[in-house]
Amino acid sequence: MQRIAVVTSGGDAPGMNACIRAIYRAGKFYGVEVYGIRRGYAGMIEGDFYKIERHDVGNIIHQGGTILGTSRSREFMTPEGRQKAADMLLEHEIDGLILIGGDGSFRGGNLLSCETGIPIIAIPGTIDNDIPGTDFSIGFDTAVNIALESIDRIRDTAISHGRLFFVEVMGHTSSFIALEAGIAGGAAQLVLHDGHEEIEELCNQLESLFRMGKHHAIVVIAEGDQPGCSFGISKKVSQRIQMESRVCVLGHTQRGGSPTARDRVLAAKLGISAVSALIEGQNGVMVGELMREIAYHPINDVVGKIRDPDPRITALSKILTGY
C-alpha cells in the first residue's frame, strides 16, 4: 500500500475536514502518499485527483464542509460509470480508497469494490447518525449543538410572546437530531418520524400543558421525507387548540459551521484507523466507534439497514416532555 486516495461523497458534515487532515497525517506517519479526489464520485469519474500536501490540510481542522467538495453522481450509479471511476483510480496508481459519507455513498463504494476489487474503507460522515455499526457518525454532535443553540434562542421569543413554536430539524430517515436536541433543549413535545400523523394526541398533550398554566411551548419536529412538514402540523394544531403558533425550519444551517471537539476527535480516530485498516490489508469494511472502541464491520452489513434510536433515550424523552 503505497498510494491511497480519500473522497467525500453525498451530504457534507462538520468534521469531514478534520478527518481528511487525520488521513493525511496518518499517511505521512506510515510512509504512504495520500491523494484527494475532488467533487465526490463525479470527480473520480473525471479523474480530478491531486496529491495532498502539508499546506492543503493546514488550518482546516476547525472548518465545516469539505475541502474536497462533494456531489451526487447519477453516472456513478451505473456499472459503466463505476468502471470509469475504477479506470481513473488505476491510472493514478491508487492502491486503496477511503470513503467518507453516508448510506448512499457506502452503497456506491461497495459496488465499486465488489465489481473492480479496489480496496475500500468507509468512514461514516453524516449528521443524520443513521449508520449502524457506530455509536456516532462524524457531524452528528455538531448538528445537535447547532439545533440546540437555535432552540435556546427561540425560547426567548416564545417566553416573551407567550407563543407556541414548532422547530423542524433535519434527519431524512432518522429522528436522532430531533431526539437529542429536543431533550437537551427542554422541548415540551417531540414529533419523531413515526408521529407525524398523530395530531390529535399532540393537541391533547399541548392543551394539557396550557391548562396546567404553561403559557408557551416549543415542539421539536423531525423533518422526515418532506422538509417543511412542520408548517402543515402547525396549521392543524393551531386550528385545533385555538392558539397562535410560529414555525422555524432550521434546514441546512445544521450542516455548516465549525465542528465540535467531539466531532473533531471522532474524525481523527476514524481517519487514522481507516489508513491503518488499508495498510493491514482490510477491504470492504466500515470503521466506526462502539463503546469508545474502534470497530470494523463489512459494508454489506450496514448499507440499507435502518438504525433506530436507543429505546432508553426514547423512554427518557417521554419522561421529560409533557410536564
CATH number of the domain encompassing residue 241:
3.40.50.460
As given in the structure block, the three cell numbers for residue 133 are 455499526
Decide which of 200, 229, 256 is a domain's last residue.
256
Residue 122 has pLDDT above 80, yes or no: yes
Minimal CA–CA distance to 20: which of 40, 32, 10, 5? 5
Residue 34's pLDDT is 98
Confidence of residue 323 (pLDDT cuts 50, 70, 90): low
Confidence of residue 294 (pLDDT cuts 50, 70, 90): very high
Spatial strand order in the sheet of 245-249: 189-191, 217-222, 164-169, 245-249
**Which whole number is the average pLDDT over 90-117?**
96
Mean of pLDDT over the chain:
95
How far apart (Å, rounded) are the C-alpha atoms in residues 155 and 165? 8
pLDDT, one tens digit per residue, over 66-89 is 999 998 899 999 999 999 999 999
User: Is 30 domain-assigned?
Assistant: yes
pLDDT, one tens digit per residue, over 226-271 is 789 999 999 999 999 999 999 999 999 999 999 999 999 999 999 9
User: Is 109 domain-assigned?
Assistant: yes
User: Is 47 domain-assigned?
Assistant: yes
Question: 270 and 243 in one domain?
Answer: no
Q: Which long-range contacts (CB under 8 A, 24 or more apart) does 310-317 make?
A: 313/179, 313/180, 313/183, 314/179, 316/183, 317/179, 317/182, 317/183, 317/190
Minimal CA–CA distance to 197: which of 249, 164, 232, 241? 232
pTM, full prediction: 0.95
As given in the structure block, the three cell numbers for residue 158 are 416564545
Expressed in percent and rounded to 5, the helix, strand and coil fractions of the chain are 45, 20, 35
Question: 158 and 23 in one domain?
Answer: no
User: Is 82 domain-assigned?
Assistant: yes
How far apart (Å, rounded) are the C-alpha atoms in residues 39 and 20? 14
Confidence of residue 38 (pLDDT cuts 50, 70, 90): very high
Which are the catalytic amino acids?
128
Residue 194 has pLDDT above 90, yes or no: no
User: Is 151 domain-assigned?
Assistant: yes
How far apart (Å, rounded) are the C-alpha atoms in residues 108 and 103? 9
As given in the structure block, the three cell numbers for residue 83 are 468502471
User: Is 43 domain-assigned?
Assistant: yes
Question: 249 and 209 in one domain?
Answer: yes
Decide which of 241, 256, 271 is a domain's last residue.
256
Confidence of residue 295 (pLDDT cuts 50, 70, 90): very high
321 contacts: CB under 8 Å, gap ≥ 6: 182, 187, 188, 189, 190
User: Is 323 domain-assigned?
Assistant: no
Confidence of residue 142 (pLDDT cuts 50, 70, 90): very high
As given in the structure block, the three cell numbers for residue 212 are 396546567
Question: 235 and 162 in one domain?
Answer: yes
pLDDT, one tens digit per residue, over 46-59 is 999 999 999 999 99
Are 103 and 171 in contact by the 8 Å Cβ rule? The answer is: no
Question: 230 and 276 in one domain?
Answer: no
Question: 266 and 119 in one domain?
Answer: yes
Question: 197 and 278 in one domain?
Answer: no
Measure the CA angle with vertex 102, ends 97 and 106; round to 5°.
45
Report the domain count for the chain.
2
Instruction: Determine phi and psi for 107, rounding to 5 degrees.
Output: -60, -50
Which range in 178-182, 190-194, 225-229, 317-321 is most confidently predicted, on average pLDDT? 178-182
Residue 171's pLDDT is 86
Question: 93 and 165 in one domain?
Answer: no
Residue 308's pLDDT is 85
Question: 266 and 246 in one domain?
Answer: no
Residues pairing with 169 in the sheet? 222
H or E segment at 30?
Answer: helix 16-30
3-state secondary structure of 320: helix
Decide which of 235, 256, 277 is a domain's last residue.
256
Question: 224 and 79 in one domain?
Answer: no
Question: 114 and 52 in one domain?
Answer: yes
Confidence of residue 195 (pLDDT cuts 50, 70, 90): confident
Residue 226's pLDDT is 78
**Which whole number is the average pLDDT over 308-318?**
90
Within 10 A of 4 (CB to CB), how many other CB atoms are there? 24
91 contacts: CB under 8 Å, gap ≥ 6: 47
Within 10 A of 19 (CB to CB), how many other CB atoms are there? 31
Q: What is the CATH number of the domain that holds 109?
A: 3.40.50.450
Residue 269's pLDDT is 98
User: Is 311 domain-assigned?
Assistant: no
Domain containing 181: what range? 142-256
Residue 322 has pLDDT above 80, yes or no: no
**DSSP 8-state symbol, 77:** G
Residue 225's pLDDT is 79
Residue 224's pLDDT is 80
Question: 111 and 12 in one domain?
Answer: yes
